[in-house]
Amino acid sequence: MRGDLYGGGEVRLADNAQLDALCGEYLLGTLRGPARRRFERALRDEPRVALRLGHWEEMFTPRYTKMIEAQPSGNVWKRLERELGLARYRVPWHRRAGFWRGWAVAATAALALAIGLQILRPTPDAPLLPIATLAGKAEAAQVTAMLSRDGRTLELRAARPVVSGPAQSYELWLLPEGKAAPISIAVLGSLDARFALPAALVGRLSAGAKLAVSVEPAGGSPTGAPTGPVILVGDITA
Amino acid sequence: MHDDREIKRLLLLTAARDEGSAEAFEQLYKSCAPLLLGVAQRVVGRRELAEEVLHDSFAAIWRSVAKFDPLTARPVAWMVAIVRNRAIDVRSSHDVARVDSYHGADDDPEGMLDRLFDWSPGEDDAEERRRATQWVRGCLGKLKAAERQALVLAYEHGLSHGDLAAHLQKPLGTVKTWVRRGMDNLRQCVETCMGAAR
């Protein structure tokens, strides 16, 4: 074995009498260059080296005071969130605990303004079959969803009239079976509505999926996913 | 300052890789990023480089969190080690200007030792750990002033032997000796305390 601490050559580090000195300088940061790389290799390959460094870290890593803290810019987290694909490891919004609680359709005078955002006109006089009952809190109005036999026209019928305020819209969502993200079906000013189903969704309103209504800014969700409170949800039974 | 038990919990939830993992990792980031950014900035000096180190370190924490051993490791120390290692690599590869990063820091190395680090026993620490903290502080106090200064400067700013020699305006060999003897004396002193306590 060579006497130089930073040489080492073929000597397995775990056998090195100077293991403690290497651990100490690695922890301190003064072990550099090839010597640092060699130590890191030994850390992976030789359990005794890792164990000894663990002891050093445990004993000698001091606790910093608050004076050292600095606030990172928001970009660091945004970049991490994107690059690590963290969205995959989040609870989907429609299964989050408490998501269904605390929101009801408030039938107040403020809601008495219909703003008629529905722009898709239905095919006339298609016969309709109920496919889902959407409900929120007990006092909220129930809404029945009906689908035409050809599957191209959807109608919502509220148990009592419910229209959105001037700064809000209702948005109807399809919650596919499993963990897939909600799909927007329509932006509505009233929960009594009849409209043509978007062509891409024809045939997808079937048992196992759900329908839900959220409250969104006027004109619908700005993000393509529900952003406001979900006031109604129901299983598709057809 | 940091609740070790809470941080261990967040690390374990992150390691689980299920629907709660991103949330736990975000909480971990919120509670530890300011400290870890501070640690990085001491070493690399420049703010934008420090944020780069912070980013890389949290990416490494996310990827290697399964290796964190909750039975033995102190969670903040585990993360600090990842950040310091990354910061030292970045410092080496960016040829960070030697003076700007620790300008004035050595005016009062003795005071820095107690301003920078908290030597009071942690609330969650086991008895052994509480005593170890006291021993390390006590033993640092017993080192020769030059050795102590070299260790504090090297640790705080991630300085190499060469950086230290330039900064302290001493021959490289002298500085290497201070560092080696300082670490060795520190270790022996702490081990003596441990032995005496058994």
Which residues in chain A are closer than 8 Å to B62, comparing Cβ atoms? Answer: 80, 84
CA dihedral (A192, A198, A202, A206) positive or negative:
negative
Which residue is closest to B151 within chain A, CA to CA? A28
Q: Which of A114-123, A198-207, B51-60, B166-175 has the lowest mean pLDDT?
A: A114-123
Out of A33, A36, A65, the one facing B117 most closely (by C-beta) is: A65
Across A140-166, b (16+ Cβ under 10 Å) vs e yields bbbbbbbbbeebbbbbbebeeebbbbe
What DSSP line would sit under B87-116, residue for residue? HHHHHHHHT--TTGGGTTGGG-HHHHHHHH
% chain A with pLDDT above 90: 29
Given an 8 Å threshold on Cβ–Cβ distance, is B88 in contact with A29?
Answer: yes
What would the mean pLDDT of B26-47 be, rounded to a whole number? Answer: 95
What would the mean pLDDT of A172-188 be, rounded to a whole number? Answer: 88
Q: Pick the more confident residue, B128 or B31.
A: B31
Please say if the pLDDT value at position B163 is more than 70.
yes
Residue A129, helix vs strand vs coil:
strand
The answer to whether residues B139 and B186 touch, using CB atoms and an 8 Å cutoff, is yes
Out of B51, B80, B136, the one facing A76 most closely (by C-beta) is: B51
What would the mean pLDDT of A230-235 be, rounded to a whole number? Answer: 87
Give pLDDT, residue B97: 55
Give chain A's end-to-end CA distance (angstroms, integer): 79
Q: Which of A98-102, A177-181, B53-57, B119-123 has the lowest mean pLDDT?
A: A98-102
Q: Mind telling me how many Å the CA of A120 is from chain B's nearest CA?
A: 37
Out of B17, B39, B54, the one facing A64 most closely (by C-beta) is: B39
Q: Pick the more confident residue, B42 or A99.
A: B42
Rounded Cα distance, B102 and B44, in Å: 10
Work out the pLDDT band at A198, boundaries 50, 70, 90: confident
Work out the pLDDT band at B147, boundaries 50, 70, 90: very high
Work out the pLDDT band at A210, boundaries 50, 70, 90: very high
What would the mean pLDDT of B134-158 be, rounded to a whole number? Answer: 94
Out of B22, B42, B180, the one facing A86 most closely (by C-beta) is: B22
On whether any CB of chain A is under 8 Å from the CB of B180, the answer is yes
Residue A150, helix vs strand vs coil:
coil
Q: Are strands A230-235 and A143-148 parallel, antiparallel or unpaired?
A: unpaired
Rounded Cα distance, A6 and A18, in Å: 10
What would the mean pLDDT of B113-125 be, rounded to a whole number? Answer: 83
Given an 8 Å threshold on Cβ–Cβ distance, is A76 in contact with B55?
Answer: yes
| pTM greater than 0.95 (yes/no) | no
- Tell me which of A36, A59, A86, A96 to substitute to probe the interface with B (most B C-beta atoms closer than 10 Å): A59
Helix residue ranges, H only, B16-160:
21-44, 47-64, 75-94, 109-116, 127-142, 145-157
What would the mean pLDDT of B125-149 be, rounded to a whole number? Answer: 89
Q: Which residues numbered 1-30 in B keep a CB inside 8 Å of some CB on A?
A: 1, 17-23, 25-26, 29
Given an 8 Å threshold on Cβ–Cβ distance, is A28 in contact with B179?
Answer: yes
On whether any CB of chain A is under 8 Å from the CB of B31, the answer is no
Please say if the pLDDT value at position A37 is more than 50.
yes
Give pLDDT, residue B79: 95
How many residue pairs bridge chain A and chain B with CB atoms within 8 Å of each other? 154
Give pLDDT, residue A16: 67
Give pLDDT, residue B124: 65
Rounded Cα distance, B134 and B119, in Å: 7
Give pLDDT, residue A170: 86
What would the mean pLDDT of B131-151 be, rounded to a whole number? Answer: 93
Q: Say which DSSP state A65 is in.
A: P
Give pLDDT, residue B99: 43
Given an 8 Å threshold on Cβ–Cβ distance, is A28 in contact with B154?
Answer: yes
% chain B with pLDDT above 70: 90
Given an 8 Å threshold on Cβ–Cβ distance, is A30 in contact with B161?
Answer: yes
- Interval A126-175: pLDDT, tens: 578 889 999 887 556 789 999 988 888 899 988 877 777 777 888 999 99
What would the mean pLDDT of B8-29 be, rounded to a whole number? Answer: 92
- Tell me which of B51, B183, B185 to substitute to probe the interface with A (most A C-beta atoms closer than 10 Å): B183
Which residues in chain B are closer than 8 Å to A79, comparing Cβ atoms? Answer: 55
Given an 8 Å threshold on Cβ–Cβ distance, is A67 in contact with B21?
Answer: no
Which residues in chain A are closer than 8 Å to B164, comparing Cβ atoms? Answer: 30
What would the mean pLDDT of A182-200 be, rounded to a whole number? Answer: 87
Please say if the pLDDT value at position A222 is more than 50.
yes
Give pLDDT, residue B24: 94
